[in-house]
Amino acid sequence: MNGMEIKPYSACRVLIVDDEPMSRLLLESILESVFHCTVVESGKDAISNCEECLPDLVLLDMNMPDINGLEVCATLKASPTTSQIPVIFVTSTMDIESENACWEVGASDFVMKPVNASTLTHRVKTHLQNKLRTEFLEMMTFHDQLTGLYNRMYLTKEIPLLIKQVARDKGMVGAIMIDIDYFKLFNDHYGHLEGDNCLKKVAQIIADTVKRPKDAVIRFGGEEFLVILPYIDYQGIKLVANQLVKAVRQAGIVHEKGISGYVSISAGYAVWKAADVVDEDSASLIEDADISLFEAKERGRNQAKG
């Protein structure tokens, strides 16, 4: 569930971009035993592949007929979605001007044709190591180690940036506060190891139910979770909150001291104009959802209120 490990090279996706069939075949034959390779033949295909599939590294021919390698690299680096993908140029000519141009568009490295197989493999490994370590550190910084969900650091550092973007788009943002019902009784009855397993199961259910890419599921503390949903209205957040309550209950996690013998959650939700959240900060929105959570508990738990 929590993905707290650095993935192996065999799981790393390398995108090979070259308009010459023999070059594509050669590069793929060198790398395919170590990495998962995808091959495309044009700059346009490279950009669309990166946007859709997010490879771990791009091996890019400098000279192509439709969009040259420098333009492809500049386009990737200009997009927040693809800017962190390392790009290694493969080229047969490299004068000072071309070399400087590579660095200026954000390339990580370059290799010369004819390609030395060992050099190419090691350079790809080196840049993948750097990327994977950076991602791992980010994972450790912004994710809860037990559940793999986002943590309070992510809420503090990254969520305000998301809300500002929604405010610029004149959208709304919602929050759902979630509490596992009678969780202290669960811990007392089954022990803390089973309590941790229960937290992980509920976290997985929440993450599986909240599916949009920009939605954020955060372990708020203890048995409390927070869901931040950008670009949503009241009916939308009400629907999601009730889906979450239903999904946890239907999972059938046994809890002898719980409601009807199973684990359940209570949820409180609120939705504001994102601009108002920016003005007052996200704590006010969360507090609004927390008040509704208290109401859900007061009314018997295993339900959502907003």
Instruction: Kindly report, residue by residue over 113-155, the tens digit of the pLDDT.
Output: 899 999 999 999 999 999 998 888 877 788 898 999 999 999 9
Domain ranges of the chain: 9-138, 152-305
CA dist., res. 183 & res. 119, Å (int): 55
CATH number belonging to domain 152-305 = 3.30.70.270
SS3 content of the chain, % helix, strand, coil (to 5): 50, 20, 30
pLDDT at 1: 42
Beta-carbon contacts of 280 under 8 Å, excluding residues fewer than 6 positions away, are none
Q: Which of 223, 256, 280, 295 is catalytic?
A: 223
Q: Can you read off the two tokens belonging to residue 305?
A: 């209120």
The reported pTM is 0.67
Tell me which architecture the domain covering 9-138 has in CATH.
Answer: 3-Layer(aba) Sandwich (3.40)
Of 4-13, 42-51, 210-219, 267-276, minimum mean pLDDT range: 4-13
For residue 214, the surrounding DSSP H or E stretch is none
CA dist., res. 224 & res. 152, Å (int): 12
pLDDT at 158: 87
Q: Which residue has the tokens 């209950």?
A: 249
pLDDT at 94: 75
Tell me the H-state helices in the chain.
Answer: 21-31, 43-53, 69-78, 96-104, 117-142, 152-157, 159-168, 183-190, 192-209, 234-250, 274-280, 282-298
CA dist., res. 255 & res. 100, Å (int): 64
CA dist., res. 256 & res. 280, Å (int): 42
- 223 catalytically annotated: yes
Q: Name the band, by pLDDT with cuts 50, 70 and 90, for residue 166.
A: very high
CA dist., res. 14 & res. 38, Å (int): 6
HSE, side-chain direction, 13 A CA sphere, residue 40? 22
CA dist., res. 120 & res. 210, Å (int): 41
Q: Is 258 helix (H, G, I), strand (E, B) or coil?
A: strand
Beta-bridged to residue 225, according to DSSP, are: 178, 219
